[in-house]
């Protein structure tokens, strides 16, 4: 658990944010110095140095994004999310995670993705959750127990998906209030976001929505049903007017590649008020999935290059779930940085890996994190030295079959269980084809990083000479 002194640090951070609010453009660079003081175990020294460089430039996109958050997000949400994520989850919680990792002899994740329910008011094409029984739920008490046990291990960041998690809106709000030292992000189709819910989000301060969108109106309605785009635009406008921070997520497919990677689309999302994005590559999960939606090498390279370019030109935090693996040392699943718990209680390595040895209804969280399949994951990570090929399912298909068989894990597909060999048949040729494109991309990336490092060192030398 967090040390009692975190309350003092929480108060100090509140004072700092108040100071920041008065003149964010000028005061923002000073915040890193304060965060260094909070980080007494010096966990993020290198990261602070990088951020420091960015914040010195008032025209930098990261500076603009941070100023936008400080100026245009409701103060209670800024205060609560900054405190819970930076102080509780990232600094104090991460230190606790490392201690528990040593204590138990295996990884403890930074975040847990959990499905409160499989119920949903949509039936999106290609959705992996479509094969789950629509009546599965984790009870309030089960979720409360999960978050309580998670905090004891140092986990203060939770993500919710489904189904549509807002079908359980009442329980989610109640849980957010009880666990007010955590940050909860949730993926939603936006249909159940109304003014009352916006008022509730402002009150609790620690719930952050992520709207699922597939591109413009034709692409979104084509996959999510008629009227979906209109609902999304309404929800985004409502949240922006209420100063509620949100992001968007998109499942990158052959059908929407050009749409979701267009300047017009990302500019619209920023204009609507999105502060971050998640780009996920379509995964052929489930026996009846449409494999034609899997992005081809040209499209996947376009995804990588577009997101990297936007980081220099767009004031939004874009996350490329696959090709950003290099920043975290490869695949993060299997408890290494995160894991997934479905609405039946099965504890899975990843939201895209529907195999498990244990159910959270039968064991404690720490027991679940030590299951054989997770140990297989951690023994084999990274699955490829080329971290543009991080995934054991999509990019290194034989690996997932090997780990499932070695661990004795079973399929968690509720209606139509998928044999792991059948899953690999859908992805093995895809992975081999992508490898031919990924190898030169990885070499190019390594060369660029080396060039940037040398340039930075030369700059430091020149500054020392001037002194």
- The Cα-based distances of 309 to 24, 35, 210, 252 in angstroms read 26, 29, 22, 17
What is the side-by-side order of every strand in the sheet holding 183-188? 317-320, 274-281, 246-252, 207-212, 183-188, 157-160, 111-114, 338-341, 347-348
Q: What is the pLDDT of residue 219?
A: 75
How confident is the model over 78-127, as pLDDT tens digits? 999 988 998 899 988 999 999 999 999 999 999 999 999 998 766 655 55
Q: What is the pLDDT of residue 5?
A: 64
SS3 assignment, position 165: helix
d(CA 147, CA 365): 9
CB 167 within 8 A of CB 120: yes
Q: What is the pLDDT of residue 121?
A: 66
For the chain, the helix, strand and coil percentages under 3-state DSSP, each to the nearest 5: 55, 10, 35
Q: What is the pLDDT of residue 303?
A: 97
d(CA 210, CA 321): 15
Q: What is the pLDDT of residue 133?
A: 53
Q: Record the tokens describing residue 294, joined without a space.
A: 């899997």
Q: What is the pLDDT of residue 134?
A: 61
Name every residue whose Cβ is closer than 8 Å to that of residue 342 and which is 6 or more positions away in sequence: 115, 118, 132, 136, 348, 354, 412
Largest CA distance in the chain: 70
Q: Among the residues of 130-243, which ranges form H helices?
A: 140-153, 169-178, 195-204, 217-224, 228-241
Residues in the chain with pLDDT values less than 50: none
Which pTM value belongs to this model? 0.91
d(CA 69, CA 63): 10
* Neighbour tally for 133: CB within 10 Å: 11
> Torsion angle of alpha carbons 51, 54, 59, 62, nearest 10°?
-40
Residue whose token pair is 């919680």: 93
How confident is the model over 429-444, as pLDDT tens digits? 999 999 999 999 999 9
CB hemisphere CA count around 90 (13 angstroms):
17
d(CA 213, CA 177): 28
- Which of 124, 131, 130 is closest to 416 using CA atoms? 131
CB 205 within 8 A of CB 79: yes
Axis crossing angle, helix 195-204 with helix 75-82, rounded to the nearest 10: 50
């Amino acid at each position: 658990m967090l040390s009692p002194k975190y309350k003092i640090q929480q108060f100090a951070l509140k004072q700092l944010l108040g100071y920041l609010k008065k003149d964010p453009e000028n005061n923002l660079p000073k915040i890193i110095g304060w965060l260094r003081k909070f980080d007494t175990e010096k966990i993020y020294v290198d990261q602070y140095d990088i951020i420091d460089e960015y914040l010195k430039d008032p025209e930098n996109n990261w500076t603009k994004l941070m100023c936008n958050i400080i100026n245009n997000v409701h103060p209670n949400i800024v205060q609560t999310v900054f405190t819970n994520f930076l102080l509780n989850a990232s600094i104090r919680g991460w230190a606790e995670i490392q201690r528990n990792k040593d204590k138990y002899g295996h990884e403890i994740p930074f975040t847990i993705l959990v499905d409160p329910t499989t119920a949903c008011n949509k039936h999106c094409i290609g959705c992996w959750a479509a094969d789950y029984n629509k009546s599965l739920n984790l009870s309030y008490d089960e979720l409360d127990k999960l978050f309580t046990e998670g905090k004891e291990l140092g986990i203060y960041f939770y993500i919710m998906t489904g189904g549509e998690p807002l079908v359980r809106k009442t329980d989610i709000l109640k849980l957010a209030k009880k666990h007010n030292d955590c940050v909860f992000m949730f993926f939603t189709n936006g249909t159940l976001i109304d003014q009352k819910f916006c008022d509730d989000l402002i009150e609790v301060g620690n719930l952050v929505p992520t709207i699922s969108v597939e591109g413009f109106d034709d692409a979104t309605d084509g996959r999510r049903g008629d009227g979906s785009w209109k609902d999304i635009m309404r929800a985004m406008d409502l949240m922006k007017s209420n100063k509620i921070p949100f992001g968007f997520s998109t499942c990158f497919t052959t059908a929407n590649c050009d749409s979701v990677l267009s300047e017009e689309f990302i500019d619209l999302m920023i204009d609507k008020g999105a502060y971050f994005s998640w780009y996920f590559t379509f995964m052929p999960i489930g026996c009846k999935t449409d494999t034609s939606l899997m992005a081809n090498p040209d499209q996947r390279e376009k995804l990588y290059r577009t997101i990297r370019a936007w980081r220099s030109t767009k004031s939004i935090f874009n996350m490329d779930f696959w090709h950003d693996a290099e920043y975290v040392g490869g695949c993060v699943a299997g408890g290494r940085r995160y894991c997934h718990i479905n609405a039946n209680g099965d504890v899975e390595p990843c939201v895209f890996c529907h195999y498990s040895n244990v159910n959270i209804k039968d064991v404690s969280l720490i027991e679940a994190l030590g299951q054989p399949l997770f140990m297989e994951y951690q023994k084999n990570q990274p699955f490829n030295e080329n971290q543009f090929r991080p995934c054991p399912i999509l990019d290194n298909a034989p690996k997932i079959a090997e780990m499932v068989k070695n661990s004795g894990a079973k399929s968690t597909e509720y209606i139509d269980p998928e044999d792991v060999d059948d899953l690999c048949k859908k992805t093995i040729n895809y992975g081999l084809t992508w490898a031919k494109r990924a190898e030169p991309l990885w070499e190019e990336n390594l060369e660029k990083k080396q060039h940037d490092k040398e340039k930075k060192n030369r700059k430091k030398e020149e500054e020392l000479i001037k002194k």
